[in-house]
Amino acid sequence: MRYMVMHYETEAMENGVTPTPEQQAAIGEYMRESAMAGVLLGGEGVHPSSAGARLEIADGDVRIIDGPFAEAKELIAGFAILEVDSLAEAIEHARKFALMTGVERVDVRRVVEFSDLQ
């Protein structure tokens, strides 16, 4: 089964403070670690919301709002897709990520796969 492990932006990140070389090294080290565990299928980080946009759709009308978005604590900073046996296993990998990189919040969510829709 697959899990998406997402971590969230801090206000500093949203304000464009780039990760320190130490933080970058920690993230690189984590990617290497989880690849060595054979569980990492993919993952990316994203820029602050000022570099993005939001689409709001109501009654078929699409409204495009340029970033930055207001609520920084709710914004995803990056994600990884892990292939593991259980939620508990995904949590252990998320825990490593949190300990190595010092992020403040990580969500672990199960990815919908074809067999779930049967």
Nearest distance, CB of residue 73 and other proteins, angstroms:
22
Residue ranges with strand state E in the chain = 2-8, 40-45, 53-58, 61-66, 76-83, 106-110
Taking each helix axis as running N to C, give the angle between helix 87-101 and helix 21-36, from 0 to 180 degrees, rounded to the nearest 10. Answer: 150
Which CB sits closer to other proteins, 22 or 29? 29
Q: Which of 50, 99, 104, 110 binds other proteins (CB under 8 A)?
A: 99
Token pair for 85: 């046996």
Q: Quick check: 95 binds other proteins (CB under 8 A)?
A: yes
Tell me how far apart the alpha carbons of residues 11 and 19 are, in angstroms, rounded to a whole number. Answer: 12
Stretch that binds other proteins, among 6-14, 52-60, 64-72, 109-117 (CB under 8 A): 109-117
Binding site for other proteins (CB under 8 A): 32-33, 35-42, 81, 83, 85-86, 88-89, 91-93, 95-96, 99, 113-115
